[in-house]
Amino acid sequence: MIDEKSGAQVTISCIEHSVHEGEAYMLSLSSALDAFDIDAPLSFLFTTPNTPIRCHMYVHGSANTAAIIQVYEDTGVATEFDVTGGTSITPKNRNRNSSNVATAIATHTPSITKAEAVALLHSKYAAKSGIEESFPVLLKQNTKYLFRFLSSANDNEGSLNLSWCEKADRAFAGVVGSVE
């Protein structure tokens, strides 16, 4: 695209391009006022599709006081990762004019029986108030992930946001069906 006034070429980021293409989605959980407590984490169980579609995930958490973001990847071993259920939640398309729907499946507030250190993919602790933590990760296909935001104090306030784009893996462009 060319800027009409300056004649300069205009570029946009990959994520913004995905938003325009209707391939970007979001989920958000927020605590009630003073209800983000030590025993009340914010969490999503997220399952990627078993297709050539890859989820390029950005995780963001914010809280008024110290908190920790954890991302666990299902190892396939129940003694290391056993997270099930939760309340179904429909991802929102970030292009509000698009009718595309996410291929990933998500629930919030799942039942966490086991999430052991061996399954821990990322953990970030921030000790100051008003923290914001964000990082990108390309998720593995046909895999469950637990995104958990833990407060280190009671009467905190927080939010956990997932933002991702769904793109075909370039290595499998033109392949029909699932990838083994």
- Global pTM value: 0.84
pLDDT(130) > 60: no
- Evaluate whether residue 1 is within a structural domain: no
Range with lowest mean pLDDT among 10-19, 47-56, 153-162, 171-180? 171-180
* The two structure tokens encoding residue 151: 């407060």
Q: Rounded to the nearest 5°, which phi and psi values hold at 21?
A: -80, -5
Average pLDDT of the segment spanning 129-153: 83
Domain of residue 128 covers 14-172
- Evaluate whether residue 179 is within a structural domain: no
- Give residue 131's pLDDT: 53
pLDDT tier, 121 (very low <50, low <70, confident <90, very high otherwise)? confident
- Give residue 85's pLDDT: 97
CB 179 within 8 A of CB 169: yes
- Give residue 10's pLDDT: 77
Q: Considering its fold, how many domains does the chain have in total?
A: 1
- Evaluate whether residue 147 is within a structural domain: yes
- DSSP secondary structure letters along the chain: -B-TTT-PBP---HHHHHHHHT-EEEEEEEPPTT-B-TT--EEEEEE--SSSEEEEEEEEEEESS-EEEEEEE--S-TTTEEEE--EE-PPEESSTT-----SSEEEES-EEEEE-GGGEEEEEEE-STTEEEEEEEEPPTT-EEEEEEEESSSSB-EEEEEEEEEEE-GGGTT--S---
- Evaluate whether residue 37 is within a structural domain: yes
- Evaluate whether residue 46 is within a structural domain: yes
Average pLDDT of the segment spanning 142-165: 92
Q: What is the CATH number of the domain that holds 79?
A: 2.60.120.380
CB 143 within 8 A of CB 81: no
- Give residue 79's pLDDT: 92
- Evaluate whether residue 177 is within a structural domain: no
Average pLDDT of the segment spanning 48-55: 94
The mean of the pLDDT values for the chain is: 86
pLDDT tier, 177 (very low <50, low <70, confident <90, very high otherwise)? very low
